[in-house]
Amino acid sequence: MIGQKIVYQKLDELEVKFSYYESPRDFSNEDDGSFWKQINATRCKNLFMRNHKGNRHFLIISDYYRDVDIRILEQKFKKGKISFASQKRIDKWIKGVPGAISVFNLFNDTENHVEVFIDETLKTKPILTFLPNELNALLAISFDDFVKILKNSGNHFEFLNLSDLA
């Protein structure tokens, strides 16, 4: 199976059931609605970001098709501007491939440095999809198992409305 070995080891340890899908495409630009309807799961967007000082790093997770307003995140964090993290920062904190960052990268964050913010709309989605820290494969897991992974990671995580401060 395509993906980092640690992903499958941890999913096995946590007894997380998943459905596995491969594609010759990398899923990063996949807009084939029929594929997503076929697997009946919510496609997730995962953004790895940093604050302007570079001393805090965030994994932002939302529905792929939902807009994430960076200004709202900046107001929430109250640490000035935030931006996408570089490959150097990805390598240091979560060991991943740009375009294939996901909740599974938390398995590589042994210091629990990364803070995770999840759009609250995902609470209504029974099945979520994530790349296994590499391109060309996709894993679908239940929302409950997603929360189990977050709790087991040891990283701070929080659900919030990523599109509106209201």
pLDDT digits (tens, 9 = 90+) for 37-59: 778 899 899 999 998 888 999 99
And the tokens for 51? 């604050």
pLDDT digits (tens, 9 = 90+) for 62-91: 998 888 877 777 877 776 788 899 889 988
**Residue 89, Cβ neighbours under 10 Å: how many?**
15
Per the CB < 8 A criterion, the answer to whether 50 and 82 are in contact is yes
pLDDT at 29 over 60: no
Domain chopping of the chain, boundaries: 5-26+34-160
What lies within 8 Å, CB to CB, of 53 at 6+ separation is 79, 80
Fold of the CATH domain 5-26+34-160? YbaK protein (3.90.960)
DSSP track, 99-117: T---GGGGGG-TT---EEE
Q: Is the pTM of this model over 0.85?
A: yes
pLDDT at 137 over 90: no
